């Protein structure tokens, strides 16, 4: 099958790949670019484990074609920490024990970052609805919500400083 | 040398603190490697063809067209799995479940598999395989399957546990009975007797990571398997048996595991991937789709349960009986037995009897799901306990306190309890601020108790001291939810060093002796015990090295606060030697310093919990919202409280999903209608409140630190607690789980009509 050549930006770096026109962006990221922090839980957009942002918008990468990444900005969990420093969300997920098995964690981090960029001071309810597209089967979400609240607070404080 | 396993009531330096987990950074950066994240040069992609029928004879499988498709490297069917099981029925069931042998037994049963150069080619090849089926009558409901005219799933099954032994085939694989006393006399004594039937639907563990493996098996019978599993040693043994390999020649490495909850304790596709690899002589990667996970891994039983309990006006239960019918899918299981054993374990009963029936149906082979079988039994029993309390005009918590099991109680399933936590959890419910919260319109409060046995089992652990004094602990139980942190704390506690100086590794099957599967809430209990002993073993070596350095007898050396100290006046000139100093000298004092332990960790302390929940039911739609949820459970000793709380919260959330929403829906054609997360809806973040927890610590007398397993009990009470809360909110007794909106509406309407 003839492939499509795609030029895109992934986590700030210019990237080129060739993929069949039917291949999902999730498969491209995992299998062609080796970004296996993007997880597959269902392949049907129901679990959010493959969450990424495309031009800043939160999407399930299993529902996006690789070809659609042409000329866009793709952000995955691998791009969250900068200059060797963990993002406050990453730090707080560890600090607050917000992960058990950790398979859903990359998706939650990407979704929570998208939320906090849009709304730096979300209520508990806003957090819960913003993360409702991400399934976690281990934690009951309690410590995840607390970690996001805590990271939001830290980020607001550092913005003021 | 065996070490003392008894509880010693010691003080702790680091155990009980909330340290960061050592694998945290890997898991928040995407670096951690799960089942589907490993690749090998030249690997093939495997896909499985599955039966669309609930029950069918496989008359012919024609793979000739698929084999000719360019890029297809191997195809296997049942014929490619010769019987190496030596007459072991359980192993044969496992093999037949991995790949059908002449008959498809459920919708989703594997009938063939292909390995090809890529997923697209493998998918094409599946479409070219022609299977000729002859459909057979099927049955998916547990009560229907027990009827005399039901289609028989296996003609070789004779009901076990019945005297005289039956001579004809039945779908009832086993009858099991537990109890003591005289229940007839007990019911005759009772002032009030309540009897009620209950149903629970089938649910799935719902781990977010599908089953995945990377298999390599050469023509010489040597191989490697990278796999997401709760028990890589068990997988090694089972795969070797099923494929006729030497156990030592198959190396199995457990990947990071993306949730298991009992569902990753059995092999499903791994023997298939290995056989494809052997045929193609190339590595084979096999990842299940979510649809396959629902249709063809191991969900929990659907059940039908009768409970009868009688009590005197003074609130003492005089007799209790239960008949529990659990379907185990298309192969025999032990699920009804666990239901029968756990049903009345919370209570101190003079006359009690529970009978379980393990029933075959055309559904996937049932696997463990967190305290397997206990939640359904608790739903029935704890509902009737609430009904009895209401009938007697007693507070449901007081009624339970009055009848709760305690130290010395003969449990309904046989043993006599040591110190246990059911009474203290009930007292804590009574005293909890949650009890004082006011309820509004359409709101109800419910509580329920739960029990789980817990398990220990075979465990083998290595502890190696580096030349700089840092320590590598290698364990053979997998880290399902933070156990690296708790085991690191234990090693640090024993050695008297900083937690940060310990690195915990999950060893593969070729680096340690056998470890049983990480199940039965055994990870921190049993690997923790082996870690304590391995550390004490290393301390013996450290003391010898110090004694040699000082040139004094070793019995004059003690290990305190992370250093060797020379005892006695004659040694007062000898300054202590730290672990670091002894390690630095080790190349010249006898070489590497290591501790090792292998143990069958007996004495896993039984675990009890009490849950309290407030719900609001919308009478227009029948939808239920959980307003408040409190989990109170005995942990024995919480090594890392964050991850103990996490287990409490996670189990409660799974129980909430089961109670209100989750169910396998089969059509009349015997096919699963909702094999996906859209239609099998597990709780999402916006469905739940914060889940409050209270950890009680009633030490397990059979563990040096008093640890009890904590992972499973938390899923036992929610079905009943929510059932009681919903019943209180709507004024109608709910007896069918899940209490989905249509079921609640129907119950309200039926009650209004009658």
For the stretch B481-531, pLDDT in tens is 999 999 999 999 999 999 999 999 999 999 999 999 999 999 999 999 999
CA of A154 to nearest chain B CA: how many angstroms apart?
Answer: 18
Whether pLDDT at B539 is above 90? yes
Q: Does B674 touch chain A (CB under 8 A)?
A: no
- What is the maximum alpha-carbon separation in chain B? 92
Q: Cα-flanking dihedrals φ and ψ of residue B280, to 5°?
A: -90, -15
Measured between beta carbons, the chain B residues lying within 8 angstroms of A40 are 36, 210, 287
Which residue shows structure tokens 């006695």? Answer: B568
Would you say residue B576 lies in a domain? yes
Would you say residue B10 lies in a domain? no
B498 and B578 in a single domain? The answer is yes
Choosing among B35, B119, B208, B722, which should be mutated to test the A contact, i.e. which has the most A CBs within 10 A?
Answer: B208
Which residue shows structure tokens 């076990």? Answer: B160
Would you say residue B427 lies in a domain? yes
Residue A140 has its nearest CB partner, among B207, B259, B653, at B653
Task: Determine contact, residues B250/B240, Cβ cutoff 8 Å.
Answer: yes
Would you say residue B421 lies in a domain? yes
Number of domains in chain B: 3
CA pair distance B521, B708, nearest whole angstrom: 8
Give the nearest chain A residue to B652 (CA atoms): A140
Q: Does B208 touch chain A (CB under 8 A)?
A: yes
**What SS3 state is found at B648?**
helix
Query: What residues contact B507, with CB distance under 8 A and at least 6 apart?
Result: B462, B474, B475, B476
Measured between beta carbons, the chain A residues lying within 8 angstroms of B678 are 44, 46
- The CA–CA distances, whole Å, from B656 to B555, B611, B614, B626 equal 57, 11, 12, 8
**What SS3 state is found at B256?**
strand
Nearest alpha-carbon partner for B98 in B267, B240, B249: B267
B466 and B479 in a single domain? The answer is yes
- The CA–CA distances, whole Å, from A104 to A11, B146, B441, B502, B649 equal 20, 41, 37, 27, 16
The pLDDT tens digits for B69-80 are: 999 999 999 999
Q: Among B566, B601, B636, identify where a domain stops.
A: B601
Measured between beta carbons, the chain A residues lying within 8 angstroms of B649 are 139-140, 142-143
Which residue shows structure tokens 């608790």? Answer: B378
Query: What residues contact B241, with CB distance under 8 A and at least 6 apart?
Result: B84, B85, B88, B91
Which residue shows structure tokens 């209401």? Answer: B390
Residue B682 has its nearest CB partner, among A49, A103, A135, at A135
CA of B287 to nearest chain A CA: how many angstroms apart?
Answer: 10
DSSP symbols for A15-84? EEEEE-TT-BHHHIIIIIS--TTS--S-SSSSS-TTEEEETTEEEEGGGSBGGGGTT-EEE-GGGSSBTT
Do the bridges between strand A13-19 and strand B130-135 make them parallel or antiparallel, or are there none, so unpaired?
Answer: unpaired
CATH of the domain at B550: 3.30.365.10
Q: Cα-flanking dihedrals φ and ψ of residue B723, to 5°?
A: -55, -45
CA pair distance B573, B697, nearest whole angstrom: 43
CATH of the domain at A156: 1.10.150.120
B502 and B632 in a single domain? The answer is no
B128 and B275 in a single domain? The answer is yes
Which residue shows structure tokens 């099954």? Answer: B157
Structure tokens at B629: 């949820």
CA of A160 to nearest chain B CA: how many angstroms apart?
Answer: 26
Average pLDDT over residues B228-246: 98
The pLDDT tens digits for B248-305 are: 999 999 999 999 999 999 999 999 999 999 999 999 999 999 999 999 999 999 999 9
CA pair distance B461, B599, nearest whole angstrom: 9
| CA torsion angle B681 B686 B688 B694 (round to 10) | 130
N-term to C-term CA, chain A? 55
CA of B209 to nearest chain A CA: how many angstroms apart?
Answer: 5
Measured between beta carbons, the chain A residues lying within 8 angstroms of B676 are 42, 44, 46
Whole-number pLDDT of residue B751: 93
A92 and A156 in a single domain? The answer is yes
DSSP symbols for B452-496? E----EEEEEEEEE-TTS-EEEEESS--SSSHHHHHHHHHHHHHT
pLDDT by residue for chain A (161 residues), tens only, comes to 589 999 999 999 999 999 999 999 999 999 999 999 999 999 999 999 999 999 999 999 999 999 999 999 999 999 999 888 999 999 999 999 999 999 999 999 999 999 999 999 999 999 999 999 999 999 999 999 999 999 999 999 998 87
CATH of the domain at A40: 3.10.20.30
Residue A145 has its nearest CB partner, among B120, B678, B685, at B685
Whether pLDDT at B1 is above 60? no
| Beta-carbon separation of A140 and B480 below 8 A | no
Task: Determine contact, residues B124/B112, Cβ cutoff 8 Å.
Answer: no
User: How many helices (H) does chain A have, and how many strands (E)?
Assistant: 5, 5
Give the nearest chain B residue to A129 (CA atoms): B686
A123 and A68 in a single domain? The answer is no
CA of B483 to nearest chain A CA: how many angstroms apart?
Answer: 9
Please give the DSSP secondary-structure letter assigned to residue B327.
E
Q: Does B210 touch chain A (CB under 8 A)?
A: yes
For residue B237, what pLDDT band results from cuts at 50, 70 and 90?
Answer: very high
- Please calculate the CA angle B736-B740-B743 and round it to the nearest 5 degrees: 60
Interface of B with A in 271-290 (CB under 8 A): 287, 289-290
Residue positions counted in chain A: 161
B43 and B121 in a single domain? The answer is yes
Q: Does B500 touch chain A (CB under 8 A)?
A: no
CATH of the domain at B290: 3.90.1170.50
Choosing among A82, A107, A142, which should be mutated to test the B contact, i.e. which has the most B CBs within 10 A?
Answer: A142
Query: What residues contact A2, with CB distance under 8 A and at least 6 apart?
Result: none
A73 and A92 in a single domain? The answer is no
B105 and B227 in a single domain? The answer is yes
B303 beta partners: B200, B326
Q: Among A18, A48, A79, identify where a domain stops.
A: A79
Residue A41 has its nearest CB partner, among B24, B30, B290, at B290
| Beta-carbon separation of A36 and B37 below 8 A | yes
Structure tokens at B582: 């002894």
| Beta-carbon separation of B690 and A142 below 8 A | yes
A108 and A65 in a single domain? The answer is no
A62 and A113 in a single domain? The answer is no
**What is the residue range of A70's domain?**
4-79
Choosing among B26, B30, B45, which should be mutated to test the A contact, i.e. which has the most A CBs within 10 A?
Answer: B30
Structure tokens at B359: 């029933």
Helix ranges (H only) for B146-289 are 183-189, 232-243, 270-280
Do the bridges between strand B250-254 and strand B223-227 make them parallel or antiparallel, or are there none, so unpaired?
Answer: parallel
Query: What residues contact B734, with CB distance under 8 A and at least 6 apart?
Result: B383, B723, B726, B727, B743, B744, B747
CA pair distance B166, B474, nearest whole angstrom: 50
Q: Pick left, alpha or beta for residue A53 (phi over 0 → left; psi -120 to 50 → alpha; otherwise beta).
A: beta
| Beta-carbon separation of A101 and B208 below 8 A | yes
Quick one: which H or E segment has residue B615?
Answer: strand B607-617
Q: Among A79, A102, A121, identify where a domain stops.
A: A79
Residue A81 has its nearest CB partner, among B29, B480, B682, at B29
Would you say residue B289 lies in a domain? yes
10 Å Cβ neighbour count for B523?
Answer: 26
Average pLDDT over residues B401-407: 98
Structure tokens at A90: 């990453």
**What is the residue range of B251's domain?**
35-136+216-257+264-296
Residue positions counted in chain B: 754
Please give the DSSP secondary-structure letter assigned to residue B605.
P
Number of domains in chain A: 2
A75 and A9 in a single domain? The answer is yes
| Beta-carbon separation of A39 and B208 below 8 A | yes
A74 and A16 in a single domain? The answer is yes
Q: Among A51, A79, A107, identify where a domain stops.
A: A79
B677 and B695 in a single domain? The answer is yes
Would you say residue B178 lies in a domain? no
Whole-number pLDDT of residue B681: 96
Residue B28 has its nearest CB partner, among A30, A94, A146, at A94
Would you say residue B668 lies in a domain? yes
Residue B524 C-alpha from the chain's centroid: 14
| Count of CB pairs separated by less than 8 Å, A with B | 181
**What SS3 state is found at B251?**
strand
Average pLDDT over residues B107-136: 98
CA of B262 to nearest chain A CA: how many angstroms apart?
Answer: 13
**What SS3 state is found at B49?**
strand
A10 and A57 in a single domain? The answer is yes
CA of B19 to nearest chain A CA: how many angstroms apart?
Answer: 8
Q: Does B33 touch chain A (CB under 8 A)?
A: yes
Structure tokens at B404: 């709760």
| Beta-carbon separation of B29 and A35 below 8 A | no
A75 and A12 in a single domain? The answer is yes
Measured between beta carbons, the chain B residues lying within 8 angstroms of A47 are 208, 290, 677
Task: Determine contact, residues B227/B213, Cβ cutoff 8 Å.
Answer: yes
Would you say residue B202 lies in a domain? no
Whole-number pLDDT of residue B190: 98
| Beta-carbon separation of B209 and A101 below 8 A | yes
Sheet with strand B577-578: strands edge to edge: B557-560, B563-566, B577-578
| Beta-carbon separation of B20 and A78 below 8 A | no
Measured between beta carbons, the chain B residues lying within 8 angstroms of A37 are 29-31
Nearest alpha-carbon partner for B688 in A140, A107, A111: A140
Structure tokens at B512: 């340690």
Q: Does B676 touch chain A (CB under 8 A)?
A: yes
User: For B218-267, where are the E strands, in sequence order?
Assistant: 223-227, 250-254
A141 and A111 in a single domain? The answer is yes
CA pair distance B732, B728, nearest whole angstrom: 7
A99 and A142 in a single domain? The answer is yes
Q: Among B549, B579, B601, identify where a domain stops.
A: B601
10 Å Cβ neighbour count for B592?
Answer: 12
Whole-number pLDDT of residue A160: 83
Structure tokens at B679: 């239609």
B510 and B625 in a single domain? The answer is no
A75 and A139 in a single domain? The answer is no
CA of A136 to nearest chain B CA: how many angstroms apart?
Answer: 7
| Beta-carbon separation of A102 and B258 below 8 A | yes
Which residue shows structure tokens 């400083």? Answer: A161
CA pair distance B379, B357, nearest whole angstrom: 17
Structure tokens at B571: 């040694």
Structure tokens at B601: 């960790």
| Beta-carbon separation of B685 and A137 below 8 A | no
% of chain B exceeding 70 in pLDDT: 100
CA pair distance B437, B322, nearest whole angstrom: 34
Q: Does B148 touch chain A (CB under 8 A)?
A: no
CA of B729 to nearest chain A CA: how many angstroms apart?
Answer: 24
| Beta-carbon separation of A141 and B688 below 8 A | yes
| Beta-carbon separation of B33 and A36 below 8 A | yes
Using only C-alpha atoms, chain B has a radius of gyration, in whole angstroms, of 27
CA pair distance B721, B726, nearest whole angstrom: 9
């Amino acid at each position: 099958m003839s492939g499509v050549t795609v030029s895109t930006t992934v986590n700030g770096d210019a990237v080129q790949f060739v993929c069949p026109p039917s291949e999902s962006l999730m498969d491209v990221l995992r299998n062609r670019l080796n970004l296996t922090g993007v997880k597959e839980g269902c392949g049907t957009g129901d679990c959010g484990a493959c969450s990424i942002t495309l031009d800043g918008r939160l999407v399930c990468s299993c529902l996006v074609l690789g070809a659609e990444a042409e000329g866009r900005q793709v952000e995955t969990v691998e791009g969250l920490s900068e200059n060797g420093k963990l993002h406050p969300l990453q730090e707080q997920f560890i600090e607050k024990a917000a992960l058990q098995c950790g398979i859903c964690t990359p998706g939650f981090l990407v979704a929570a970052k998208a939320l906090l960029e849009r709304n730096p001071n979300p209520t508990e309810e806003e957090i819960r609805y913003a993360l409702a597209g991400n399934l976690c089967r281990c934690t009951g979400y309690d410590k995840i919500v607390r970690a996001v609240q805590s990271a939001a607070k830290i980020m607001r404080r550092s913005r003021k400083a | 040398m065996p070490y003392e396993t008894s509880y010693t009531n010691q003080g702790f330096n680091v155990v009980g603190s909330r340290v960061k987990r050592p694998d945290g950074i890997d898991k928040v950066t995407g670096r951690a490697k799960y089942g589907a994240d490993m690749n090998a040069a030249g690997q093939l992609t495997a896909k499985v063809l599955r039966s669309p029928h609930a029950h069918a004879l496989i008359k012919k499988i024609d793979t000739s067209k698929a084999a000719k498709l360019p890029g297809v490297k191997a195809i296997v069917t049942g014929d490619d799995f010769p019987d190496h099981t030596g007459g072991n029925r359980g192993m044969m069931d496992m093999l037949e479940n991995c790949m059908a042998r002449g008959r498809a037994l459920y919708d989703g049963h594997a009938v063939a598999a292909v390995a090809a150069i890529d997923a697209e080619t493998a998918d094409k090849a599946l479409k070219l395989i022609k299977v000729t089926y002859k459909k057979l009558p099927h049955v998916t409901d547990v009560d229907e399957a027990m009827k005399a005219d039901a289609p028989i799933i296996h003609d070789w099954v004779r009901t076990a546990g019945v005297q005289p032994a039956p001579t004809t085939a039945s779908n009832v694989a086993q009858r099991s009975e537990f109890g003591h006393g005289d229940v007839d006399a007990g019911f005759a004594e009772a002032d009030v007797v309540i009897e009620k039937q209950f149903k629970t639907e089938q649910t799935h563990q719902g781990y977010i990571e599908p089953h995945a493996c990377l298999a390599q098996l050469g023509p010489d019978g040597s191989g490697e398997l990278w796999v997401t599993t709760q028990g890589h040693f068990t997988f090694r043994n089972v795969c070797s048996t099923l494929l006729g390999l030497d156990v030592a020649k198959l190396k199995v490495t457990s990947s990071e595991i993306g949730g298991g909850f009992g569902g990753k304790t059995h092999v499903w596709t791994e023997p298939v991937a290995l056989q494809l690899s052997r045929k193609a002589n190339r590595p084979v990667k096999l990842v299940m789709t979510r649809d396959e996970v629902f249709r063809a891994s191991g969900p929990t039983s659907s059940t039908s349960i009768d409970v009868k309990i009688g009590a005197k006006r003074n609130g003492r239960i005089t007799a209790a009986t239960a008949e529990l019918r659990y379907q185990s899918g298309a192969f025999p299981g032990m699920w009804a037995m666990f239901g029968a054993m756990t049903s009345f374990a919370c209570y101190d009963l003079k006359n009690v009897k529970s009978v379980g029936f393990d029933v075959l149906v055309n559904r996937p082979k049932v696997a463990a799901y967190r305290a397997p079988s206990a939640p359904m039994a608790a739903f029935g029993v704890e509902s009737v306990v609430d009904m009895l309390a209401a009938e007697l005009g007693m507070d449901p918590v007081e009624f339970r306190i009055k009848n709760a099991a305690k130290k010395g109680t003969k449990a309904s399933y046989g043993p006599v309890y040591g110190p246990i936590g059911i009474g203290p959890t009930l007292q804590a419910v009574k005293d909890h601020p949650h009890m004082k919260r006011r309820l509004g319109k359409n709101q109800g409060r419910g509580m329920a108790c739960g029990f789980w046995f817990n398990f220990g089992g075979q465990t083998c652990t290595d502890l190696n001291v580096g030349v700089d004094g840092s320590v590598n602990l290698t364990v053979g139980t997998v880290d399902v939810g933070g156990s690296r942190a708790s085991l690191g704390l234990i090693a640090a506690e024993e050695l008297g060093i900083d937690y940060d100086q310990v690195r915990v590794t999950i060893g593969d099957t070729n680096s340690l002796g056998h470890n049983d599967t990480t199940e039965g809430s055994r990870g921190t209990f049993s690997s923790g015990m082996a870690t304590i002993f391995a550390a004490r073993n290393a301390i013996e070596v450290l003391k010898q090295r110090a004694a040699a350095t000082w040139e004094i007898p070793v019995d004059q050396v003690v290990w305190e606060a992370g250093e060797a100290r020379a005892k006695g006046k004659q040694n007062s000139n000898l300054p202590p030697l730290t672990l670091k100093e002894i390690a630095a000298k080790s190349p010249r004092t006898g070489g590497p310093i290591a501790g090792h332990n292998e143990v069958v960790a007996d004495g896993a302390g039984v675990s009890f919990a009490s849950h309290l929940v407030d719900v609001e039911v919308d009478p227009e739609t029948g939808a239920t919202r959980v307003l408040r949820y409190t989990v109170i459970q005995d942990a024995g000793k919480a090594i890392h409280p964050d991850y103990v709380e996490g287990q409490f919260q996670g189990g409660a959330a799974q129980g909430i999903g089961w109670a209100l929403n989750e169910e396998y829906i089969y059509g009349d054609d015997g096919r699963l209608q909702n094999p996906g997360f859209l239609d099998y809806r597990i709780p999402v973040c916006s469905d739940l409140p914060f889940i409050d927890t209270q950890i009680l610590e009633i030490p397990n007398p059979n563990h040096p630190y008093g640890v009890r397993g904590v992972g499973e009990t938390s899923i036992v009470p929610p079905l009943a607690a929510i059932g009681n809360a919903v019943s209180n909110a709507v004024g109608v007794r709910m007896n069918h789980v899940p209490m989905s909106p249509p079921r609640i509406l129907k119950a309200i309407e039926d009650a209004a009509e009658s």
